[in-house]
Chains A and B, each alone.
Chain A
């Protein structure tokens, strides 16, 4: 009833190739964008939303969603498993830092884009083994990226501008004389970039580029036989994916952490983003957002739960146990999702939509 597309006809090719062919989707997406760009800022002006929402939930959610999008392009669409996501993020962050630091009057957006391009270049280099190896051989190979990049960033002083501690304060985000330093303005800054890049990604995976990735993913030999060039396609996936991760890394350092440090981009972060892909849905743009939201919210929920247990029920948990439990919950959830719903939350949303088509009159 709510989600019925009956009566909506596609009369032209243009209508047939729209991103959101169904009216409900269009309205829904417009609503989400209005809420994200206008509703939430207005709410915060009324004082209903504190800075905590922006700094601890919304901004990291958007940044992780962007990184997940990047990994999803590589793993979900092109089928190349990567465990080096955090390394590409680190390249993006450090490249942006150095561009802003060393080039006078470098606009911040250009620095982020260049940071992304540097990450893309690194991605191409470390994607080269994909021409010979597949599956977890490749996953192991991408681990090399992780260790190598973090090592280089810690060892070579030039990248960190010879900072003694290795932790650098990120420059302020400034554009057209306006400084983005409040939590709300950082959120809007990140939101604009993420929305734009997500739109790009969505269009990319609908185009011939995306179809060539999926062909390689589904059966690379067959794709090669019918005329896709495997190396070029795979490297393009590595480049685009690393670009997204690089921009996400720059945002992670500038809009979330406020510092640029190699330790912020550990293997743990790579795994975390892989989990977002799995839980959100492998090979789904929307799923990247679901997955990021889920992984950002679960630790917060667990913290609230353990805090609640300690305060109201009087059970005092030994210190450090909550982080252990967090690990266990993450692990169990991954296994659960892989078994029960290998296509993740995105698939659940799909099922929900089909239910909504008939609801509340199931006949």
Chain B
């Protein structure tokens, strides 16, 4: 039982990390109807830039700040050179454009900073929490807990931002219908620029946390592949969906790896979330919290 709980909590905490990446997707999808496949590349880019600047001798906070500026710039350029010319195109076209963007950003990051694996030290140690170890005899990573706390703060802030602020409401209007939003005077391009900047910020946070945990390397781009089942499960348009989906995927993936994995020779983490999400899709195509899909002729 104790072992089960330990695996479960470990899974839930890593699920929060998935949610963090998934949030970036949801944000952009909600606001612009673009499924931004490049989110993983942005995470990679942000982490690599921060580490590169730190390696050049900067303090971490300054490096993070400069990276933030770079991410905003990247977002603005994306809006100007990728999204604006593709306004009102089919969403699949936009999706494919973001795949192109993924390759570009990955190449750019490596061209600037090289392809070596680098270590990132945030000053948080990845050690089991002591009092949990003593009182409940469970190894829960301190790092994961802090990461979850950061994610929780971000989610709350985003939820408030979306529902309570003027910009947030404008974002939702744009998400509903580009043309209608334009016609009531919402500046579409500004809104998109803001969204991409915020997504860049999320990528930075996710990149720092993931990079500190697993090392900053090309494999960081694959977190996008972890976030996809989370999105399917939670629904593309729902912030709570990204959280709950992340928790479900994280927990079930770790449990499956520990309890079912050995029967199949292990390594099922790679596809188990997808199969879970797929089975779920067949029952409920719009995900847990997604908007009901209504189609008309």
Contact = CB atoms under 8 A, between A and B. Distances in A.
Question: A and B: real partners?
Answer: yes
B274 A148 contact: yes
A328 B95 contact: no
B265 to A, nearest CB: 5
A328 B274 CA distance: 29
Interface residues on A, range: 35 or more
A267 B104 CA distance: 17
Nearest to B271: A147
Interface in A126-158: 128-129, 132-133, 135-137, 139-141, 143-144, 147-148, 151, 154-156
Given A133-B285, A221-B297, A338-B97, A148 B275 contact: yes
Contacts of B229: 140
Given A136-B35, A331-B105, A151 B274 contact: no
Contacts of A135: 91-92, 95
Nearest to B109: A324
Contact of A136 (B91, B114, B282, B285): B91
Interface in A231-274: 267, 271, 274
Given A222-B297, A338-B97, 12 more contacts: A140-B277, A144-B275, A225-B297, A274-B99, A324-B107, A327-B104, A327-B106, A328-B103, A333-B100, A335-B82, A335-B97, A339-B82
Interface in A79-95: 81
A295 to B, nearest CB: 12
A321 B101 CA distance: 18
Contacts of B105: 331
Nearest to A342: B93
Question: Chain B interface mostly helix, strand, loop or mixed?
Answer: helix
Contacts of A267: 225
A151 B267 CA distance: 8
A332 B77 CA distance: 13
Interface of A: 81, 128-129, 132-133, 135-137, 139-141, 143-144, 147-148, 151, 154-156, 219, 221-222, 225, 267, 271, 274-275, 278, 318, 320-321, 323-335, 338-339, 342
Contacts, number: 136
A278 to B, nearest CB: 6
A136 B281 contact: no
A219 B297 contact: yes
A181 B8 CA distance: 55
Nearest to A322: B111
A324 B103 contact: no
B59 interface: no
A97 B229 CA distance: 32
Contacts of A129: 278, 281-282
Given A151-B268, A338-B100, A339-B86, A136 B107 contact: no
B264 A278 contact: no
